[in-house]
Amino acid sequence: MGAADYQVDEKGHLEKNNYLNCEKGLKSWLFTIDHKRIALLYLGAMILFFLVGGLAAVLIRLHLWSSDSKLLSPDMYNVLFTLHGVLMIFLFIVPGIPAVLGNFLLPLMIGAKDVAFPRLNLFSFWIYLLGALIGFIGLLDPVWLVSKIKGSAIGTWMPLDTGWTFYTPYSTSTGAGSGWGTIIMTFAAFVLGFSSILTGLNFIVTIHRLRAPGLTWFKLPVFVWSLYATSIIQVLATPVVGITLLLLIAEKVLGVGIFDPEKGGDPILYQHFFWFYSHPVVYIMVLPAFGIIGEIIPIFSRKPIFGYSAVVFSSVGIAAVSFIVWAHHMYTAGMSPFSQAFFSATTFGVAIPTAIKVFNWVSTMYKGAISFEAPMLYAMAFVFLFMIAGTTGIFLATLGLDIFYHDTYFVVAHFHYTIQGGAVIGLIAGLHLWFPKITGKMYNKKLAIFAFWLIFIGFNVTFLPQFILGVQGMPRRYAFYIPEFEPMHRLSTIGMFFNAIGYTLALLNLALSWVFSKEKAPANPYKALGLEWQAPSPPPHDNFINTPIVTVGRYDYGKPLEDLGLKGGVSG
């Protein structure tokens, strides 16, 4: 197709022949190799898992309304928090931002037509779905289900109840299948990991080889840098969890004692291998969110990003440090004092690049012309919530304090502040920011801001009390508790309602605006700089109609609009 086939209106909207409607039919979606369509496939699947995982959380919090609740049996309570953790971590937030916004935006941001390996990208999506399917089989106690169908049921039905960490030896002996559920689930994690590795590999090669002419490394968007750091972690950490699975199977089938003390193995070794992957994974979740916030704040402050290179290096720094902090999850598991001190010190080290980022965001806003649109509100909430997450992280990194806080609600609150307050808020912020680019429509701004306040208030009311509960000694993962904890638990449950309604409203607003809104989004609704805003909304299959030319820097805000080429309409 030539440029003549694209009729872009004066505001940069592309009604016909954009990537959404250039091909029709289910097959054109399921077998697409267009990075933008693959991003939407991921988004659809992930939102589904997010809702199921969220529903599990709602049930958990409802159960915790009273100290001796009869809503769920203790076994079912264990099953639900496992389901919640597994879905939210492995199926929702790990692929999360890179697979959706990363896939959609990376080629647009660097002026490429696609990622380096488009077929591999589609393959990643399919094995993601395959992994999800295997995961559900593993969760549902398959050995019992099979025995039930054969008519010789062993024991009672016990879906996976190990928590998302699958600690041995409990995880390899639970359920009717005495641990086979866990092994199938770990296999699912391996398959999902493969998807993650291939996405990461694809992104690294794309960033190295497909940048538009003139777009040098230190002109790259901070979001691209954060994707780069994330991809490095994906490629280097994920194989470790894959092979841990193989060792679990070897233990089960060959009777080799790797992790089971009865067979001469060491359960602590499992924890080391598990956290060697699963700690860096935390940064897979949150680093891309840092990048999104770094994009949003300059746009809505109309100021150049403060300390660009510090932001970039702190992303890469976090990725590097993330590999040497894993054992801070295991202070109470039995380690030499030297190891404990080492991991405590390295964990404190994470605070440095993270704090640099926070200072840079705040300094970017300083004396800026701030407009409080929905993405900006989410970004500011992110900075606020992540500061709480970070400072409570320091408490937990401190050896003496962690012995006390370990496995309490303090930890639960801390990681929800990082993962929900960080990664999920970042994802939602990004979805709002790039919604007009993705869909070619505009969302209802008032509703978006209303949903934001529900989420923000609901989130804090849910999780701030949990810090207090943790300090008072409420252990995590308990189905019952002493009556003294009831008020705080009730407050937390009330907050959960606002939070859940907020997310539902925000997502409904986006979904319904996409379907029903008549407002055509222009190419550049925020008068933002950066290559992706030069493409029409929604972009055509090849992203850009004419090869984009970089004339101004991505963060050159604060100059007159004429100088930036932004006066009047912006054509594609």
Partner 1 sequence: MAESVYSKVGGRGAPPVYHHIDPINAYHAAKFGMWLFLATEILLFSVLFTAFAIYNWAYFESFQHAATKLDWKLGGLNTLILLFSSCTAAIAVYKAQINDNQGVVKNFTVSFICGLAFLVIKYFEYSAKYRHGYFPGTELWNSAEFSTQYKNYFGLYYVMTGLHALHVLIGMGVLLWVIFLARRERFSEKYYTPVELAALYWHLVDLIWIFLFPLLYLID
Among 273, 326, 467, 503, binds partner 1 (CB under 8 A): 273
214-241 b/e (C-beta count within 10 Å ≥ 16 → b): ebeeebbbbbbbbbbbbbbbbbbbbebb
32 or 418, CB closer to partner 1?
Answer: 32
Kindly tell me which of 109 and 296 has the beta carbon lying closer to partner 1: 109
Our finding on whether 269 is near partner 1 (CB under 8 A) is yes
DSSP category for residue 423: I
Binding to partner 1 by CB under 8 A, coded x per residue (else -) over 4-43, reads ------------------xx----x---xxx---------
Shortest Cβ 440–partner 1 spacing (Å): 19
| CA neighbor of 193 nearest in space, from 139, 137, 243, 265 | 243
Contact 290, 322 (CB under 8 A): no
Q: Does 169 engage in binding with partner 1 (CB under 8 A)?
A: no
- The secondary structure of residue 520, as a DSSP letter, is B
User: Which stretch, 112-120, 378-386, 453-461, 520-528, contacts partner 1 (CB under 8 A)?
Assistant: 112-120
In order, the DSSP letters of 268-300 are HHHHHHHHHHHHHHHHHHHHHHHHHHHHHHHHH
Q: How far is the CB of 123 from partner 1 (least distance, A)?
A: 13
Question: Is residue 172 within the footprint of partner 1 (CB under 8 A)?
Answer: no
Choice between 15 and 23, CB closer to partner 1: 23
Query: What are phi and psi for residue 234, nearest 5 degrees?
Result: -60, -45
**Residue 334: which region, alpha, beta or left (left: phi > 0; alpha: psi -120 to 50)?**
left
Q: Which of 83, 86, 112, 451 binds partner 1 (CB under 8 A)?
A: 112
Residue 255 C-beta: closest distance to partner 1, Å: 6
Q: What is the contact mask toward partner 1 in residues 202 to 221, using x (rule: CB under 8 A)?
A: x-xx--xxx-----------
**501 contributes a contact to partner 1 by CB under 8 A:** no
Smallest gap from Cβ 146 to partner 1, in A, equals: 23
Pair 439, 514: CB distance under 8 Å: yes
Neighbour count for residue 424 (Cβ, 10 Å) = 24
For residue 13, the cross-strand partners are: 537
Q: Does 560 bind partner 1 (CB under 8 A)?
A: no
133 interacts with partner 1 by CB under 8 A: no
Residue 33 tokens read as 């190799």
Residue nearer to partner 1 on the CB measure, 209 or 559: 209
According to the binding rule CB under 8 A, does residue 486 interact with partner 1? no
411 binds partner 1 (CB under 8 A): no
Q: Which residue from 517, 545, 547, 536 is spatially nearest to 438, judged by alpha carbons? A: 536
End-to-end C-alpha distance for the chain, whole angstroms: 16
Considering only the stretches 107-115, 128-136, 220-228, 488-496, report the one whose residues sit in contact with partner 1 under the rule CB under 8 A.
Answer: 107-115
Residues in contact with 373: Cβ distance below 8 Å, sequence separation at least 6, in sequence order: 300, 445, 449, 526
Piece in contact with partner 1 (CB under 8 A), picked from 164-172, 231-239, 288-296, 524-532: 231-239
> Collapsing DSSP states into helix, strand and coil, what is residue 155?
coil
- The answer to whether 284 contacts partner 1 (rule: CB under 8 A) is no
Contact status, residue 230 vs residue 288, Cβ threshold 8 Å: yes
Instruction: List interacting residues with partner 1 (CB under 8 A).
Output: 1, 22-23, 28, 32-34, 107, 112-118, 120, 197, 201-202, 204-205, 208-210, 235-236, 238-240, 242-244, 246-247, 250-251, 253-258, 263-266, 269, 273, 541-542
